[in-house]
Amino acid sequence: MGTVLVFGETEAGELSTGFWEQVSTGRQLCEQTGWTMDVVVVGCDTGPGERAACRSGATRILVVDDSRLDDPWPEATTEVLADVCDELSPDAIVMPRSLLGAEVSARLAFRLGIGMAMDVMSMERDDDGLVVTRPVFGGAATASIRLSGRPWIIVPRKGAFAAAEPVAAPSAKAVPFASGLDSRTLKTTPLAHQRLTDTGKDLEKARVIVAGGRGMGGAEPFHLLHAIADRLDGAVAASRPPCDTGWVEPMLQVGLTGKTVAPDLYMAVGISGATQHMMGCSSSRVIVAINNDPDAPIFRMASYGVVGDWREVLAGFLEALSDGQAKEIT
């Protein structure tokens, strides 16, 4: 019987925010193929992640707990996963849509000599392999791709697969996996690192996001976005230009080279809607665009649009918001 291997990336011992979407992807594959699902949790001090993974419904939960993996190290993580694949011989590997996950997926595909599908939106098994759909040309179109030679490496698009619910009771016990990781043989070595901190809400978990773009004109107007986000119990984000110019922190960037989010409400203020940005937010349930250019591309993607000066629109919106109204919106 075949197996689906889900890579459990950890941050400070906790599973990454997209793990349960990966589990949903894995379960769907198992339903289509009759295979079983395994999980490998990788990181340092992984206790919390192990306990959560035990409720994923997986048949086996393997753990690689190594102090050298406390911070993202793509080459070392690739070596660990290659060891796991050599041991388990999975038929499919489900990776996280994260900075580390994207790089390790590409490295692992090259290492194993197999295909990889990034940003998978749907998938269907057929006699010749697995057919997946994914966005192309910056999200302007979708393409169907067949993965033939196994194992298949699948990186689900953020929000494309609803997060799975943990099972009521642990389905298996977590057991250590003895990886042959030898850092002396690797071509890269982590040096000094700096972990950025942010007191705001996690963009990948926020149900409401208020994002600003180049049209905001500077750093000061983002205080207004913070005020609105606070009323809506949401988070503030930005397109690339405000991050590049230093108006806001780089960790707030949404887009192809930033974070991929899928909130219930995404409010885009002064954002033109370039495909690179929309790749990061197109999975949002509702997109509201505020822009003074009626021909801005974002209006083609928006659920609702307001053509006008964002200063006037947001000032009126903030004035109208009350705590009770904010609860209704969210």
pLDDT at position 315 is: 87
pLDDT at position 199 is: 58
The residue with greater pLDDT, 195 or 281, is 281
Together in a domain, 322 and 225: yes
Together in a domain, 172 and 289: no
| Residue 195 covered by a domain | no
| Residue 62 covered by a domain | yes
The residue type found at 256 is L
With a cut of 50, say whether residue 329 has pLDDT above it.
Answer: no
| Residue 52 covered by a domain | yes
pLDDT digits (tens, 9 = 90+) for 45-102: 999 999 999 999 999 999 999 999 988 899 999 999 999 999 999 999 999 988 899 9
Average pLDDT of span 265-269: 96
Six token digits for residue 233: 């119990």
The residue type found at 303 is S
Together in a domain, 124 and 245: no
> What are the CA-CA distances from residue 162 to residues 21, 124, 125, 159, 300 (Å)?
6, 17, 19, 6, 25
| Residue 196 covered by a domain | no
Together in a domain, 271 and 174: no
CATH label of the domain that carries residue 126: 3.40.50.620
pLDDT digits (tens, 9 = 90+) for 124-137: 998 888 999 998 87
Strands 14-15 and 208-212: unpaired
Omega of the bond leading into 297 within 30 degrees of 0 (cis): no
Together in a domain, 134 and 247: no
Alpha-carbon dihedral sign for residues 303, 307, 251, 224: negative
Which of 170, 185, 200 is the endpoint of a domain?
185
Check: CB of residue 3 under 8 Å from CB of residue 36.
yes
Rounded to whole angstroms, how far apart are CA atoms 316 and 296?
22
The greatest distance separating any two alpha carbons of the chain, rounded to the nearest whole angstrom, comes to 62
Together in a domain, 41 and 150: yes
Together in a domain, 171 and 242: no
| Residue 294 covered by a domain | yes
Any residues with CB less than 8 A from the CB of 48 and at least 6 apart, and which? 13, 14, 15
Together in a domain, 170 and 313: no
Together in a domain, 71 and 154: yes
With a cut of 60, say whether residue 327 has pLDDT above it.
Answer: no
Check: CB of residue 253 under 8 Å from CB of residue 238.
yes
Q: How many domains is the chain built from?
A: 2
Average pLDDT of span 315-323: 79
pLDDT at position 322 is: 62
Together in a domain, 59 and 167: yes
| Residue 111 covered by a domain | yes
Q: For residue 320, what are the domain limits? A: 208-329
pTM: 0.81
Helix (H) or strand (E) holding 308: none
Alpha-carbon dihedral sign for residues 122, 125, 127, 130: positive
With a cut of 70, say whether residue 111 has pLDDT above it.
Answer: yes
Rounded to whole angstroms, how far apart are CA atoms 58 and 40?
10
- Residue showing tokens 């990889």: 116
Which of 185, 219, 252 is the endpoint of a domain?
185
pLDDT at position 141 is: 82
| Residue 190 covered by a domain | no
pLDDT digits (tens, 9 = 90+) for 26-42: 999 999 999 999 999 99
Rounded to whole angstroms, how far apart are CA atoms 264 and 285?
5
**pLDDT class for 328, splitting at 50, 70, 90?**
very low
Alpha-carbon dihedral sign for residues 293, 294, 297, 302: positive
Helix (H) or strand (E) holding 210: strand 208-212
**pLDDT class for 196, splitting at 50, 70, 90?**
low
Which of 185, 220, 247 is the endpoint of a domain?
185
Together in a domain, 246 and 280: yes
How many percent of the chain have pLDDT more than 70?
Answer: 95
Together in a domain, 115 and 251: no
CATH label of the domain that carries residue 247: 3.40.50.1220
| Residue 197 covered by a domain | no
Rounded to whole angstroms, how far apart are CA atoms 144 and 171?
34
